[in-house]
A and B are shown apart, each in its own frame.
Chain A
Amino acid sequence: MSTIKRRIFLCLVGLLAGLAAWPAAEITLLFQADFPSYLVFSIFLGAVFGIFIGAFFGSGDGIIMSHRRSIVTGVTRGLAIGALGGAIGFLVGQGALFLTGEYLIHSMRRFNTVGLPVSRAIGWAVLGVFLGMVDGVRSRSWNKIRIGIIGGVTGGFVGGLALEYFRIVFSETVFARLLGLLLFGLFIGLFYGFVEVRLSYGVLTLLNGRFKGKEFLINQKRLGIGEQEKNEIKLEGYRDVSERHALVRVKKDDVFISRVEGARLYVNDDPVDEHMLKYEDVIKIGSAKLLYQYK
């Protein structure tokens, strides 16, 4: 998948995450009065919301790589980490909201039109920080965590503000929160898409064969290349690719590729054991060729 397609795809995943989380959030809100305390309520609502965001974004990598097993493991891990991130995020976000809200409600004349939307957007942004991190924690990538935080903060703030003003303008609507959640998801997705390329250590693009044009971002310290499911860069449908063929590693800021025992690896048509990649190097693994670039 090319960078543009990947961005669009991530935005779609974000929108779907928001769409799926909306009913769950609404149903939980209906029962607010039945919760014993704000603490339990915040943890529960945060966890429910986080589960959806985590699961949907967790499926993203697997779908992009057309990798069934990755989808399943991504969703499962996303669920768990999302629940945790959502619970913590909502709790801290609620704390921030109580603090700013209580301060502004007594000190601001235009509380309903400025104070409340801004306080709530701050709460959303904090929630976004934790939910944005979910996918990074899931794939154990510090870069992804950073990307997620930026996307989450922005998405949270913009989504929260949009929700509030939408509600002020269309007071009768039931869709204000849906709009907020969609924007929330969209922004997390958008930022993953826009920032992940910049914050990654480079991109490997397949140059030929069945999956020509597909891009693999080097956004983790270690990526396996091979035919098997467990590889982050799965080369399916290419000749002479071993189960685990090569390994991409990031040391400091340099990217190295090395072959696995018994496999053949070529960089720029020369056989290598280990090689530090430079711009536009062409890697040959079996019949597949990959181009290394960075932005």
Chain B
Amino acid sequence: MKTGRIRILSAALAALLAPWAGARAESVRISQIDPSMLLFNQNVKAYVSVTDDAGAPVKNIGRNRFTVYESADGNNFKRIPKIKDFRAMVNYRDGINFLLLIDNSGSMYLNVKQRLTRNPADTKFSHAKSAVSTFLKSMANPRDRVGLASYNSYYQSLSDPISDKEKIQGLLGRIGKPVGDEGYTEIYASLCRAVDEFRSVKGRKAILILSDGENRPYYRYTGKPHSDYGTKIFAYTEPIRDCQQEGISVFAINFGRAGERRDTHLKDIALRTGGAVFDAGNGRELARVYSKIADQIQNEYLITYPATMDPADRKYVKIEYASRRGPIQAVRFYFSSTVFGLPLKGFSFLLLLPFLLALILLWLLSMIRFERKKGAASIEVMNPGQARAVTRAFTLNKGRTVIGSSPGANMTIAGGVSRIKEKHATITFDTRKKRYTIVGDGDIKINNKRVKTKVLESGDVINVGGTTIVFDDGEVD
């Protein structure tokens, strides 16, 4: 009883203070980091959005209320001494990417008083569909794109962001009532999944979640591991972290009755990601959801600053905004890795050893002369062609040397493009003139020319049936 009274009192106090607190509870968000000029002029651009707790942009903030920090590890931040350029954004013409995330759990098929209803038009789900229709109709920029997903125990992606809003409208009708174990509500897990799906989409991104605010994890209520998440139960801080990292703001349309079964964390998620919560019962407010989100983006601030050079694969940027309640921050990261990657932990003179080793080895290589010494006269198969050269090389003796297909030949070559005779060619040595002469019984070519006989010179190329054989007198001059 006592606790009940305290609750009522604190609720009344909160209600009294709400307008005052609301005016001051601001949040800051980095909606995009653009490091595309980093390599050329060292500049990084950060698009920053500051909103109040109704999700409305805070306008006319001066440069001096922002401080930029960078960190290579996400913990130790270095202050950037000077912001190079600061401007309030106007004329953001590129469209916004929305992901509509519709609660399709069992409780969405009750009426707003949480009672069973026979009339499908009375269900919260039906209200959610009409809220989506209102939202789609209010989208003013043809470049805006919308994606659609539903969730209960499971996350189901229905469409990636597309500009065809009528198609999205049509897809809404395809969402079926949950059956079997689909009746639970994985809000936090589904938001994390939605961020994941949304990751590859470039530009400004917002998630619009339509929910009655209950997080009823499958594993907690059934005791059975979830087919996607296992035994993991997602905390509400996880989607906040993921959304902040990706610069996604979450706007929530709440179908829960105030004070009852309403998950306050959904409001936290919305506020801490720079979004807002709308009441589904308020038709006028619903119609303004789109313009509110668009307004937020139209009133971003663009901060350009010189990046630090600390080696890191990803560089964390912290923007600190001096709000009236004290400093608040937003952190995002950008890719900052270099081709060779991170440096070693320390310098060692041993590093010079490989360099010396390489020089010595190269010097040794250059010492190799690839020369040969004087030897005996020989014939050597250079290219067997299609034949099978049984003998590859033969040192010529002072007598007769036979080249042919016979196994008894001095150089045996079988096969070949044309028939090779058993004794195809004979080389004889003239002891008086000290020279070798070749005589062909079969068809031979010497130095690409058909001949019957020739006095051999060192380097002559003998072609026997397509096999090339080089004659070498062994001299090196």
- Chain A residues at the B interface, C-beta cutoff of 8 Å: 1, 5, 9, 12-13, 16-17, 19-20, 22-27, 29-30, 32-39, 41-42, 45, 56, 59, 62-63, 66, 71, 90-91, 93-95, 97-99, 101-102, 104-109, 116, 119-120, 123-124, 127, 160, 163-164, 167, 174, 177-178, 205-214, 237-239, 268-269, 278, 280-282, 284, 287-289, 291, 293
Which secondary structure characterizes the binding site on chain B? loop
Report the number of A-B residue pairs with Cβ-Cβ less than 8 Å: 215
| Complexed CA–CA distance, A98 and B38 (Å) | 9
Residues of A within 8 A of B338 (CB): 29, 32, 38, 41-42, 45, 94, 97
| Residue B314 is within 8 A (CB to CB) of chain A in the complex | yes
In the bound complex, residues from chain A placing their C-beta under 8 Å from that of B17 are none
> Which residues on A sit within 8 Å (CB–CB) of B370?
1, 5, 66, 211, 214
Give every chain A residue within 8 A of B366 (Cβ-Cβ): 59, 62-63, 71
A29/B340 in contact, CB under 8 A: yes
Docked-complex contact B447 and A208, CB < 8 angstroms: no
Quick check: B311 and A29 within 8 Å, CB to CB? yes
> Secondary structure of the A side of the interface?
helix
Interface centre among B199, B355, B370 (most CB of A within 10 A): B370
Contact yes or no, B343 A94, CB < 8 A? no
**Contact indicator A207/B341 (Cβ below 8 Å):** no
Known: A19-B355, A207-B470, A268-B449. 18 other contacts (CB 8 A): A23-B351, A27-B347, A32-B311, A33-B311, A39-B39, A39-B42, A59-B366, A71-B366, A90-B339, A102-B334, A105-B314, A109-B196, A116-B313, A119-B335, A237-B476, A282-B461, A284-B457, A287-B477
The digit string for B338-382, where 1 denotes a CB below 8 A from any CB of A, is 111111111100011111011101100110111110000000001
CA distance A134 to B9 in the complex (A): 80
Cα distance, A127 to B338, chains bound together (Å) = 12
Interface pair A32/B309, CB less than 8 Å apart: yes
Which residues of chain A come closer than 8 Å to B382, judged between CB atoms?
A: 205, 291
The smallest C-beta distance from A5 to any residue of chain B, in angstroms, reads: 8
For the complex, give the distance between the alpha carbons of A269 and B309 in Å: 69
Contact B339 A209 (CB under 8 A): no
Bound Cα distance from A31 to B292, whole angstroms: 48
A–B Cβ pairs within 8 angstroms, 22 of them:
A12-B365, A16-B358, A16-B362, A29-B344, A33-B310, A38-B338, A97-B338, A98-B38, A99-B36, A120-B337, A127-B339, A177-B340, A177-B341, A207-B470, A213-B372, A237-B371, A268-B447, A268-B448, A269-B446, A278-B448, A281-B447, A289-B457
Task: Tell me the complex Cα distance, A29–B347, Å.
Answer: 10
Instruction: For residue A170, give the distance in angstroms from its CB to the closest CB of chain B.
Output: 14
Chain A residues in 8 Å Cβ range of B314? 105
Check B309 against A37 for contact (C-beta < 8 Å). Answer: yes
In the assembled complex, how far is the CB of residue A24 from the closest CB belonging to chain B, in whole angstroms? Answer: 7
Interface of B toward A, CB cutoff 8 Å: 35-36, 38-42, 196, 199-200, 246, 307-311, 313-314, 333-335, 337-347, 351-355, 357-359, 361-362, 365-366, 368-372, 382-383, 446-449, 457-461, 463, 468, 470, 472-473, 475-477
Contacts of A164 in B (CB 8 A): 341
Chain A residues with CB under 8 A of B38: 38, 98
Does B372 contact A210, Cβ atoms closer than 8 Å? yes
Docked Cα-Cα span, A138 to B353, in Å, equals: 29
Q: Is the CB of A174 within 8 A of B477?
A: no
Distance in angstroms between the alpha carbons of A36 and B41 in the assembled complex: 10
Q: How far is the CA of A35 from the CA of B141 in the complex (A)?
A: 44
List A contacts of B342 (CB < 8 A): 29
Q: How far is the CA of A29 from the CA of B371 in the complex (A)?
A: 43
B contact residues around A281 at 8 Å (CB):
447-448
Partner of A209, one of B334, B351, B475: B475
Shortest Cβ distance from A217 into chain B, in angstroms?
15
Kindly report which residue of chain A lies nearest to residue B463, judged by CB atoms.
A280
Q: Which chain B positions have C-beta within 8 A of A59?
A: 362, 366
How far is A25 from B461 in the complex, measured between Cα atoms in Å?
51
Known: A41-B338, A120-B341. A102 touches B472 (CB 8 A): no
A283 to B354, CA, bound (A): 44
Closest B residue, CB atoms, query A104: B335
Chain A residue with minimal CB distance to B473?
A208
CB distance from B144 to the nearest CB of A (A): 20
Write the chain B residue with the least CB distance to A95: B39
Task: Say yes or no: A97 contacts B337, CB within 8 Å.
Answer: yes
Contact between A211 and B448 (Cβ–Cβ < 8 Å)? no
Q: Which residue of A lies closest to B201 (CB)?
A: A107
A281 to B365, CA, bound (A): 32
Contacts of B334 in A (CB 8 A): 102, 105
When distances are taken between beta carbons in the complex, the residues of chain B under 8 Å from A291 are 382, 461, 468, 470
Q: Report the minimum CB–CB distance from A81 to chain B (whole Å).
A: 18
- Residue of B whose beta carbon sits closest to that of A185: B358
Q: Which residues of A contact B463 (CB under 8 A)?
A: 280
Q: Give the complex CA separation of A101 and B35 in angstroms.
A: 11
User: What is the CB-to-nearest-CB distance from A122 to chain B, in angstroms, rounded to a whole number?
Assistant: 9
Cα A30 to Cα B448 in complex, Å, equals: 62
B472→A238 contact, CB < 8 A: no
Cβ B354 vs Cβ A19 within 8 A:
yes
With CB as the reference atom, state the residue of chain B lying closest to A210: B476
Contact of B344 among A30, A36, A207 (CB under 8 A): A30
Quote the shortest CB–CB distance from B160 to chain A (angstroms): 13
Q: Indicate whether A97 sits within 8 Å of B461 (C-beta atoms), given known contacts A56-B362, A66-B370.
A: no
For A178, what are the chain B residues with a Cβ–Cβ distance below 8 Å? 354
Residue of B nearest to A164 (CB): B341
- Knowing A23-B352, A280-B448, A288-B459, say if A120 contacts B339 (CB, 8 Å): yes
Given contacts A38-B39, A268-B447, contact A209 B458 (CB under 8 A): yes
Known: A26-B344, A39-B39, A107-B199. A66 touches B449 (CB 8 A): no
Could you tell me if B365 and A63 are in contact, using CB atoms closer than 8 angstroms?
A: yes
Q: For A104, what are the chain B residues with a Cβ–Cβ distance below 8 Å? A: 335
A-B complex: 8 closest residue pairs judged by Cβ atoms: A289-B459, A107-B200, A208-B459, A207-B459, A20-B358, A29-B343, A101-B335, A282-B447
Q: Which residues from chain B contact A66 at a C-beta distance below 8 Å? A: 369-371
Cβ B361 vs Cβ A30 within 8 A: no
| Distance between Cα atoms of A107 and B196 in the complex (Å) | 8
Provided the pairs A30-B343, A208-B459, A237-B477 are in contact, do residues A24 and B362 lie with their beta carbons within 8 angstroms? no
